[in-house]
Amino acid sequence: MCGIIGYSGSRNARTVVLDGLKTLEYRGYDSAGAAFSAEDITVFKTGGRVSDLEKITPNIVAHAGIGHTRWATHGAPSAKNAHPHLSFDGRFAVVHNGVITNCDELKLSLIRRGIRFVSDTDSEIIAHLLSLEYDGDMVSTIDKVSSLLRGATTFIALKKGDERVYMHRNGASLVVGKGDGECIVASDALAITPYTSDVAVLCDGETAIMNATDVKFFKNGKQLDKPFGKTDRTAPKDCSCHMRAEIDEIPSALLNAYAEISRSITPAVSDMVRNAKRTIFFGCGTAYHAGLYGKIIFERVGVPSNAVIASEIDDERFIDENCLCVFITQSGETADTLIALAECKARGARTLAITNVKESTVTFEADETVFIGAGAEIAVAATKSYVCQLLALYMLSQERTEKRMGKSEIQALANAAKVVSKENLYAPEYKDFNPFFIGKGIDNVTAKEGALKFKEITCKFADAYGAGELKHGSIALIDEKSVAYVVSTNEHDEERVRATVRELQSRGAYVFAVTNSNRLGANKTLMLPKIYDENLYPVLSVIPLQNLALTASLCLGLDPDKPRNLAKSVTVI
C-alpha cells in the first residue's frame, strides 16, 4: 500500500528521492518522509503529502537516501508515524511496505529489553531489530531480522556513515534499477525509469545491497546471479487530473491492449482456456467486477464458471486440477489475490494471471500471464485498466470458439469508445440526490462498477441493484430525492428493464439510461454506438459512469486522483 524508494549515486539524493515519491504517491498519501545518509542520518517527516515534505526538506547534499509515502495501517497519519523510522541508537533508518503480523509480541519483547518506541507503527520494530542484531555483516543481519518477522515485511534501510542502500523483499514488490554511476530501488519501476530502463525484480526472501555502481543479490546468505532486463514502464506526464487523462486515453489503451493481449495469448495460454472444464475468476474491487464479466462471457461459450472475491477463497470449495483459476490484478501485487493464487496452486489448479505490470509478483507466481498493456495508471480509481481487463477476458473467451476479434473490430470498438468518452451523465441539479445504479445480467456488472467508482471518489454512498430484484425490497429507498442510472444493452432484457424504469419513475426517481435502445422511457437517454458483438457493450457503457463519478468528485471539491482512505496498490491484507 505504500511507496518506498532508495537511491545511491552521483546525483543529489534529495532530488531523486522526492521526485520518486511524487511518482509513487498513488500508492499512499496520508504522510511522507525521507532520510539521507552522509556522516549521520538526517530524517524529515510530515503528516501531509509529498509536496509538504518537499517544503520542509532543505537542499541537503547527500548521495544516498530513502523515502516513503504512506497508507496508514498501524497508527494514525501523522509526522511521528511517518517513515523513515530510526533505530534507538540512530544507526539505522528504515522504510517499510507491508504489515508485521506478529508486531505485538515483537514490540513487547523489545520494550522488555529497554527499547522506547516513538511511533505507533509496526515498522519501527525493523529499525530496532537491525541495530540489536547487527553483527558486522549486513546480509546475515537482515537474514536474522527477517526470520523474526511475519507478514508482509519488505523494507529498505540506510546505515549511519554508509552510502550503500540495503533492502529485503517479503510480500511487497521491489524493483532495482542500475544506471550510469547510480542505482535506485522502488516499489514500482515508474520511479526508476526516468534514470534507467535496466531493472531486476527481487523475489520474496531476497536481499540486496546497492551502491552507486553495483547491486549484489542474496538469498539465505548466498549470493545470487540475478540478470537485469529492460522495462517498458514509463511514468505519465504531469497533469492536473490523472483520472481525466486516463479516461481520455481509453480508446488508445484499447488498441494497445489488443496488441499486447494478442501477443500474450500464447499456445500454452490458449490450451489452458480450451481444456478448462471449469473456470474461476478471482479479483478485488474493480478487478472482481471484471471477474463477474468473465464468468458471464465464459459461460456463454460453454464453460461453467464462477467469480470470487479473492479474500473469500476459503468459501470456494470446488478447486482442483480440472479448474482454470484466473487472477485479475492491475498492479500484480494485490495481497489478497496473491494469497488466493497460492491456495489454488496448492489444490492443483492451473493458474492464469491478467495484469498491467510485467515486473509484478503475479507474473512470477502464475503458470501463465496475459498482459493488458493499458499503460501506467496513476489515479486510484481504475478506468482504462478496467476496460482493458474486460477486453482481455473477451479475447480469452474467444479461444473456445472459432471466431476471433480482428483489427477492424478493435478499431471500431476504440472509435466507439472515443465517442462515448465525451459523454457525461452528471447534472448539477441532482448533486444532492441519492444515486442508484441498476442493470440486468451483464449490465448489472457495469452498474456495480459504476457504483464503486462513485463511492470511491465522491465519498458518498451508492449501490447497485439488479433490475428485476429492485422491487423485492430496495425500492423502499426510492423517493423524489433519488436519481437512477440504468444500464441496458441487451435486447432480450429490454422489456424487464423498461418495467423497472416505470417503477422508479412512479416513486419519484429521475432516471438516466445508458443504452443502445431508445425505448426504455427514461427521463434522459445516452445512446451507445452500435458495435459488432453485444458482449463488448460493458467496455463502452462503463465509460459515462466513470465520467459521472469524476465530475461529481470535482464538483464536490475533492481530489479524484487521491480519494480518502484509498491507495492504488493494495499490498496488505
Express each pLDDT in 59-80 by its tens digit: 888 999 999 998 878 788 899 9
Q: What is the pLDDT of residue 564?
A: 86
- Segment (H or E) for 565: none
Catalytic (active site) residue 448? no
At residue 572, does pLDDT exceed 70?
Answer: no
The number of residues making up the chain comes to 573
Q: What is the pLDDT of residue 303?
A: 97
At residue 1, does pLDDT exceed 70?
Answer: no
Single-letter residue type at 522: A
What is the rounded CA–CA span in Å between residue 243 and residue 547? Answer: 9
Q: What integer is the mean pLDDT of 163-185?
A: 94
At residue 471, does pLDDT exceed 90?
Answer: no
Q: What is the pLDDT of residue 30?
A: 87
At residue 239, does pLDDT exceed 80?
Answer: no
Cell (9 digits) for 149: 518477522
C-alpha count within 13 angstroms, C-beta hemisphere, residue 123: 29
pLDDT interval class at 553 (50, 70, 90): very high
pLDDT digit string, tens, across residues 476-513: 999 999 999 999 999 889 999 999 999 999 999 999 99
CA angle at 291 for the pair 287 and 293, rounded to the nearest 5°: 115
Predicted TM-score of the model (pTM): 0.89
What is the rounded CA–CA span in Å between residue 25 and residue 4? Answer: 9
Q: What is the pLDDT of residue 197?
A: 92
Question: What average pLDDT does the structure give for the chain?
Answer: 93
pLDDT interval class at 315 (50, 70, 90): confident
The DSSP bridge partners found for residue 151 are 100
Q: Rg (Cα) of the chain, in Å, rounded?
A: 25
Q: What is the pLDDT of residue 565?
A: 83
What φ, ψ does residue 422 adopt, rounded to 5°? -90, -5
At residue 347, does pLDDT exceed 70?
Answer: yes
Cell (9 digits) for 24: 509513487
Q: Percent of the chain, pLDDT > 90?
A: 82
- Contacts of residue 425, defined as CB under 8 A and 6 or more positions apart, other chains included, come to 485, 512, 514, 524, 526, 544, 545, 547, 548
What is the rounded CA–CA span in Å between residue 473 and residue 385? Answer: 34
494: helix, strand or coil? helix
pLDDT digit string, tens, across residues 29-55: 889 999 999 778 999 999 989 999 999
Q: What is the pLDDT of residue 573?
A: 64
Catalytic (active site) residue 555? no
